Amino acid sequence: MTGKDIIKITLNLVVIYIVGGIILAAVYAWTSPIMYRNAVIEKEKALKELIPEADRIEKLGDWSIHDKHAEYFFAKREDVIIGYIIQSFGKGYSSYINILILVDKDFTVRKINILGHAETPGLGDEIEMDSFKNQFMGKERKKLKLVKTETTDYIQAISGATISSRAVTEDAVRNGVDFLIKKIRKGAEDETVEHE
Amino acid sequence: MKQSNTNRYLDLIKNGIFAENTIFKLALSLCPSIAVTNHLRNGVLMGIAVLFVQVMVNTTVSLLRNFIHPRIRLPVFMLIISGWVTVTDMTMAAFFREAYKQMGLYIQLIVAFASILARAEMFASKNKVAPSMFDGIGMGLGFLFALTIISFFRELLGKGSLWGYPIIDVKPLLIMILPTGGFFTVGILMGFFNWINMQYAKKHRSS
């Protein structure tokens, strides 16, 4: 390899890396605000969809599960609290499942909504089906248990996707509800004082 | 002259779809062809993403073929590929949010596709821009075609649905959406594809 080769190789790499970097920076500058805006819109829509009758949904605080940051909210209608929403994560088969849970004031689950996951397509992703999600309607804390047999009292696992079903039921939802119960029951007295 | 050019481009496209089909003939990029094809939509979107990357990479490599020093051509090809894959990745994340949530992981994996690097090295680095572009289109369409067929059968047989819409009530063969079923499908289709090719060749020879 001659000196000329070395200079040519260096020049090659420098030019190509700089041009590549500039193109990537330009595309990033163009797409990242759109991505961020869509994420915010999507989150607001997801909250609203969960409890359409609320006229105000406000953030109550932050918490973390599996070292992931999550938030919880209260939903009000004409200044009366009608429910709480908590975001939670469950450790599934191949990903962390991101879920929003709506609970009544007595901490009965009313509805859940899956925000994101990367479970096996065709098996684990059936947690997104209404037939699975609707099982959570009206379940109290102690009924949040996964069973593999046919049931209406507890949550029935999806066949072929027990791990994903368990992650949703016992990891994400149950832990989220537990946290809310602990947090809101404990803070209930200060809250009422603060609001009046 | 113009006519012969058009014919040549058509031949390049046909070559990519049939004679040198990435999956059925060259048996390259088999990992993604099994990983994403349990859902028709995922298979088609993956095929489109690969088509775009393949065309852009071939064009770029061909444009730069006289500028790149032969000793460092592979690192430069890799940079070009990863650059275009990142562009695809960011664009999909911004505009196709729903699909990206399921596909995101595999889109980034296009960087490691043997078929794309192989085409850049074998074809684009030795040919002019226009043929390289059409070669990219042919190879990309061949990949899209293969993924569409594989995911069609796997979703239909494994889930009883197509593009997420239920077609039949039952799930005839749950195994089809598992990786095992992917190997079966690719193997059977590969055999079928080659059998048709052989019949076609035989007929041509006898007539």
Closest partner CB to A16 (pick from B76, B95, B101): B76
Q: Residue A13 burial (CB < 10 Å; 0-12/13-18/19+)? A: middle
Of A92-101, A185-194, B96-105, the poorest mean pLDDT is in A185-194
pLDDT at B152: 92
pLDDT value of residue B105:
74
Are B90 and A31 within 8 A, CB to CB? yes
- The two structure tokens encoding residue A9: 């190789």
Is the per-residue pLDDT at B98 higher than 90? no
d(CA A175, CA A91): 12
Is the pTM for the entire model greater than 0.80? no
> Which residue of chain A is at minimal alpha-carbon distance from B176?
A122
Q: Give pLDDT tens digits for B107-118.
A: 888 888 888 998
Sorted by where each begins, the domain ranges of chain A are 1-50, 54-195
A29 touching B (Cβ < 8 Å): no
Least confident of B144-158, B160-174, B190-204: B160-174
Residue B118 burial by Cβ neighbours in a 10 Å radius (0-12, 13-18, 19+): middle
B83 touches A: beta carbon within 8 Å = yes
Q: In whole angstroms, what is the distance from residue B7 CA to residue A159 CA?
A: 53
User: Tokens at residue B199, please?
Assistant: 């019949």
- Average pLDDT for B44-49: 90
Q: Cα-flanking dihedrals φ and ψ of residue B179, to 5°?
A: -50, -40
ipTM: 0.73
Is residue A192 over pLDDT 60?
Answer: no
DSSP H helices, chain A, are 3-50, 130-133, 162-166, 174-195
The answer to whether B94 contacts A34, with C-beta atoms less than 8 Å apart, is yes
- Give percent of chain A above pLDDT 90: 25
pLDDT in tens, A1-60: 688 889 988 988 999 999 999 999 999 999 999 988 988 888 888 888 888 888 888 888
Mean pLDDT, all residues of chain B: 86
- The Cα A155–Cα B114 span in angstroms is 44
Asked if A9 and B72 come within 8 Å (Cβ–Cβ), the reply is yes
**Does A1 reach chain B within 8 Å, measured CB to CB?**
yes
Best-predicted range by mean pLDDT (A149-153, B171-175, B188-192): B188-192
Q: B38 vs A1: CB contact, 8 Å cut-off?
A: no
Q: How far apart are CA A105 and CA A59, in angstroms?
A: 16
